[in-house]
Amino acid sequence: MNTISKIAIVTISAASLAGCATWSSGSVKPAPGAQAASAGTPAASQNRSRRQTTQKQKIDPAAVAAITVTENDITDRPYDVIGDVKVTVNKTTIFNKDPTHEQVDDQLREEAAKVGANAVILVRYGTVGIGLMSWGSLDGQGRAVKFK
């Protein structure tokens, strides 16, 4: 393969990757305190079964958009803690813009929707920087809760 062909392949690959500005990953782990407090209760088993099924079913975008994401606690409504949600948003190529807090919030909403949460509270963000898998990586996490 000559040099021009190699350059063409690299250019085409970069151009196609540049179409997707970011890619992201996320996870939800049950909060330790929440497990102890609600294990065995009907609500807890409901949450568990919901978690298993929502991963397969398609999530309604309106339901995702309705999820509250806040850096604070919610004190005016009682809630059950479902778990801790952690997401990472990465920019695809060096030429894309750095990920933003809003993109992290959107990803938190999606992960929270999968476990049937109404809100993500105590949200905190990392700082954008070069990660092992990306030229621009931003971390965020929060606590998924369901209103009683």
Partner 1 sequence: MARAVPSSSNSFLLILSLLGLMGCARPAPDLPAPFMPASTPQMDAQARLDRCATLKSEIAVLRDEIRLVEEVIAGDRHEDQVAGYFAAVLFPPAMLLIDQKRVQKNALDDRQARIDLKLAEQHALQCP
Give the CA-trace dihedral at 130, 134, 137, 142, to 10 degrees.
-130
Among 6, 66, 126, 147, binds partner 1 (CB under 8 A): 126
Among 71, 96, 105, 118, binds partner 1 (CB under 8 A): 71
Q: Whose Cβ is closer to partner 1: residue 5's or residue 127's?
A: 127
54 binds partner 1 (CB under 8 A): no
Do residues 146 and 118 lie in contact, with contact meaning Cβ atoms separated by under 8 Å? yes
How far, in Å, CA of 143 to CA of 117, rounded? 9
Mind giving me the DSSP string for 67-88?
-EE-SS---SS-EEEEEEEEEE
57 binds partner 1 (CB under 8 A): no
Q: Whose Cβ is closer to partner 1: residue 113's or residue 128's?
A: 128
In whole angstroms, how close is the CB of 64 to partner 1 at the nearest point?
20
Site residues for partner 1, 22-41, by CB under 8 A, read 31-34, 37
Rg (CA), the chain: 19
Do residues 107 and 89 lie in contact, with contact meaning Cβ atoms separated by under 8 Å? yes
Binding segment toward partner 1, per CB under 8 A, in 6-14, 41-49, 53-61, 79-87:
79-87
61 binds partner 1 (CB under 8 A): no
How far, in Å, CA of 66 to CA of 63, rounded? 5
Q: Binding residues for partner 1, how many (CB under 8 A)?
A: 31
